[in-house]
Structure 1
Amino acid sequence: MLKTEIEIDSAALILKLLGDKTRLTMVKILDNHDCCVCEFVEIFKASQPSISQHLRKLRDVGLVKEERRGQWIFYSINKNNEYYPFVEQLLEQLPDQVFRLKELEEQGTRITCC
Structure 2
Amino acid sequence: MLSIEKLADELKLAGDKTRLTILLYLLERECCVCDLAELLQTSQPNVSQHMRKLKDGGLVKESRKGQWIYYSLNMESKPYLLELLRLLPSQKEKLDQAGIGNADRCQ
Task: Give ranges in structure 2 of 5+ residues lacking alignment.
Answer: none
Deviation at 1:79, TM superposition (A): 3.0
Distance 2:91 2:40 in 1: 12
So what's the TM-score if we normalise by structure 1? 0.84
Residues 75 and 93 from structure 1, CA distance in 2 versus in 1: closer, same or farther, beyond 3 angstroms?
Answer: same
Aligned partners of 2:31 and 2:101 also within 8 Å: no
Distance 1:31 1:96 in 2: 8
Of the candidates 42, 46, 51, which is equivalent to residue 42 of structure 2? 46
| Structure possessing the higher radius of gyration over alpha carbons | 1
What whole-Å deviation, never above 9, does each CA across 1:9-32 have from its counterpart, x for those lacking one? 111111111111111111111123
Distance 2:93 2:50 in 1: 21
Of the candidates 63, 80, 86, which is equivalent to residue 86 of structure 1? 80
Deviation at 1:103, TM superposition (A): 2.0
Please name the residue that 1:112 is paired with: 105
Please name the residue that 2:95 is paired with: 101
Residues 29 and 109 from structure 1, CA distance in 2 versus in 1: closer, same or farther, beyond 3 angstroms?
Answer: closer
Q: CA-atom RMSD, angstroms?
A: 1.9
Deviation at 1:112, TM superposition (A): 2.3
Percent of counterpart pairs with the same letter? 46
What whole-Å deviation, never above 9, does each CA across 1:17-65 have from its counterpart, x for those lacking one? 1111111111111123010100011000111110000011000011100
Aligned partners of 1:38 and 1:112 also within 8 Å: no
Size of the alignment, in residue pairs? 106
Residues 29 and 14 from structure 1, CA distance in 2 versus in 1: closer, same or farther, beyond 3 angstroms?
Answer: same
Large movers: runs of 4+ above 2 Å: 108-112
Answer yes or no: is 1:72 the counterpart of 2:76: no
Deviation at 1:109, TM superposition (A): 9.4
Please name the residue that 1:18 is paired with: 14
